[in-house]
Structure 1
């Protein structure tokens, strides 16, 4: 008999149950695309019991954001499913991400790449022209990166210097050359033999469908050195030497096979070669090619360096068959003061920005420091860039550099900027500033005062000349009137004497008269006096180029 009780009618039947069960994790990716400003990846976690699970993402240094959705339970199996996603902002690089899922049963980790490749990877090969490490440091070395065997698509080639993009390194990338369904191209750049021999690492970096491919340059080394290991000394910068008053020498060792038991010892010539106290342990850094570099920095005295003291860096390492010794001192040669010019184009303001370019040229030696100031305060170093010194084309041993600063239109309109150059050939503090701003203001005080003094002197001299000539003309006029009056009186007297001769008889008019002879002798004297007055020149010690002389 079936019971009619409410409890019996409400019985739902057997309840499904599940024991502890670990999740299954599936990575979710998309096809690779170019030009995307963001990319979203996912992790699907399903078939686990009980709740909860913890999903974490390891994105390294990428700019990212994560989102985990609420879990959903399957009513038939009681198992849970959850989805988590990560969004990468900016251009994607070929960096792998990890999705880690922690559950009571176990922890599962999945590695996810940015996208699924549907293209052929490019092949990179590096070529360079021959070099002589003991030859002309300014000779040109040609570097070429040959890229081939890739599916045609958007590609970007960037040249790196010691792993960093150098905007002062000007490169050329050729258009794609189709080879059936694939394509090839090349990118090239020119550097100096001195740069190539200085063990700087040059890298050809290709960005293609969101992936990064790199090829590192081989470097020019001297055959006389232990193979693969080189050492270089760098002088103090003019900024540290003349402004901060804390010059430092740097000894750099590259291409070490291991980082253990590296010793860099310093000594100086005037101390008889005695080893100086170590400034500290060398800084060891791993490099792209699997080798290590070691760097030691030695503080030196300002006067010792300026007076020409010689310093030595001695490198020892178990892998070296013999120590490497390097020396450095202040270079010889006649010092030449740099010329500084600040250039800018008003037309660029239409784009809302302005590029200030500081040209420093015709200086020697090549060591120079360039700073940018904003309202007399230094601009951050990462906001401006300066080229390496380049040798000028003329026969004189001189160099030139460019420094570049980009400012916004509002910044330009509200502030003043200056290019500050530090070089040992400059007088005084060894610094020189060239200011530039939208409103340059009045001229410099000293030139303005000098110009005003010259103007006042010219005006005073002009007034003096005018007064002198006015007095001279008045005197000449009065003198002429006096002479004319005297001549008239003389004529009257001569006429009276002619009319009344002794005896009352008139004298023959054609016979010479004493009075007429007197008048004749007087007139040339009057004419000579007038000519002398009118033809008199001003003293030669004055400049009267702005005075018009009266007509003779």
Structure 2
């Protein structure tokens, strides 16, 4: 719209839908002397899975513009991605593999691609297995498995499971635990190093295998769940069960206060084994105080119960520094999609959550991505370790041009207030980031 003079050519790259494209005659925009044209294609729900490209040519001005979209026939749910590893200690013999298990759940069935990354790059010469979708009602779940050698694991590289779904990337990362090995049935009394589940890192994590192959994992709550959503939970996951008969997952806590876990979710997998998952809601105050939680797995096939414990990591507490950067000026004039960057640095412990908001409305996770926490250069010394992350948000240039306000919201236990958040906002008018107090 808003062109002069006539005519303009509109074509659609729609494959088999070429006959379904409709372009209306140009119409004048008021008294401005400019014109606008409307064109569309009609797609069935099945055809909506493909992409459509609208090509516009304005010969008088020499303008060529292409826009690619995907039809939206209905609302859909995006996947939740969670990555687990099988052990923090060396198995018997360094030739034994370490298993990385990527759980992908809660998404509307659609085309999906799973890619494994090492240090941010696609894993070379790696072979992984991704199970077929398991459909339950309107949603689906699956898992992807990657086995690596113990020598690869102790290199302390970061491994990432990336899920590409409807043109967006969803991912989770993990790396080797550090610290002293502990027997499977003893409690972890301190931090076990860089554990990450979504936005967490450096949290205790137990995941040792029974000799028969059954493995149990514990996943901690994220800062976002703890302080903002007020719905924190710990997850106990058991995999490779031969049967579900006689299975019991029991929760307890050191204080002996009552616990109210949800009903276990037991599912049969493609290879005939069973996976069980149980979640335990926790109070943020109890978690922050260092309460220890235990998940006990009992099954007739196990020679002994599998006991896993988890607690908040000890260590130095450092408040994060937050910086928000607008898109480069050269991009603001030439690109249809702009990138905003939020740097969160020099904080500890490594557990941090990042949200982005547009005009104080939270944006979907699919629109932004955050790196795993990494050690800040020069801080891994006698003064204690500190971490940093980058978060990246893509916005439409039209939203930036109309002076929408974009906010980077950081959730960390050292921040003030009940919700432990700190915000910095940026817009085209500001020209620079402006700190804001949440709720004001």
Give unpaired runs (5+ residues) of structure 2: 1-12, 18-41, 52-85, 91-96, 105-111, 126-146, 165-175, 178-205
Is the partner of 2:416 in helix, strand or coil? coil
Q: 1:316 to 1:341 in 2, by over 3 A?
A: same
Unaligned runs of 5+ in 1: 1-35, 41-62, 67-85, 92-130, 136-141, 144-158, 176-187, 206-218, 447-552
Equivalent pair of 2:207/2:217 in contact (CA under 8 Å): no
- In our comparison, the structure showing a higher alpha carbon Rg is 1
- TM-score norm. by structure 1 comes to 0.43
Alignment of 1:128-527 (within 5 A): 133-134=88-89, 161-163=102-104, 169=117, 170-172=120-122, 193=153, 225-271=210-256, 276-287=258-269, 291-343=273-325, 344-349=327-332, 350-394=334-378, 395=380, 396-414=384-402, 415-429=404-418, 430-440=420-430
Deviation digits for residues 293-321 of structure 1 (CA, Å, limit 9, x no counterpart): 22111112232222221111101123322
1:162 Cα deviation after fit: 3.5
Query: In the aligned structure 1, how far is the partner of 2:273 from the partner of 2:160?
Result: 12
**Match for residue 4 of structure 1?**
none
Mapped to 2, the partners of 1:443 and 1:357 lie a distance apart of 11
Q: 1:161 to 1:400 in 2, by over 3 A?
A: farther
Q: Is the 8 A contact 1:39 1:87 kept in 2?
A: no
Secondary structure of 1:397's match? coil
Output the TM-score relative to the length of structure 2. 0.53
> What do the CA deviations read for 1:67-115 (whole angstroms, capped 9, x no partner)?
xxxxxxxxxxxxxxxxxxx979538xxxxxxxxxxxxxxxxxxxxxxxx
Aligned residue in 2 for 1:461: none
How far apart, CA to CA, are the structure 2 residues paired with 1:304 and 1:88? 47
Larger relative contact order (C-alpha < 8 A, sep ≥ 6)?
2
Q: Tell me, yes or no, if the aligned pair for 1:39 and 1:89 is still in contact at 8 Å.
A: no
Q: Which residue of structure 1 aligns with residue 107 of structure 2?
A: none
CA distance 1:285–1:347, shift in 2 (3 Å): farther
Change in 2 beyond 3 A, CA 1:37/1:321: farther
Tell me how far apart the structure 1 counterparts of residues 212 and 375 of structure 2 sit (CA, whole Å). Answer: 30
Is the strand fraction higher in 1 or 2? 2
Question: Is the partner of 2:225 in helix, strand or coil?
Answer: helix
State the partner residue of 1:482.
none
Query: 1:436 offset after TM fit, Å?
Result: 1.1
Q: 1:285 to 1:403 in 2, by over 3 A?
A: farther
Q: Tell me the equivalent position of 1:480.
A: none
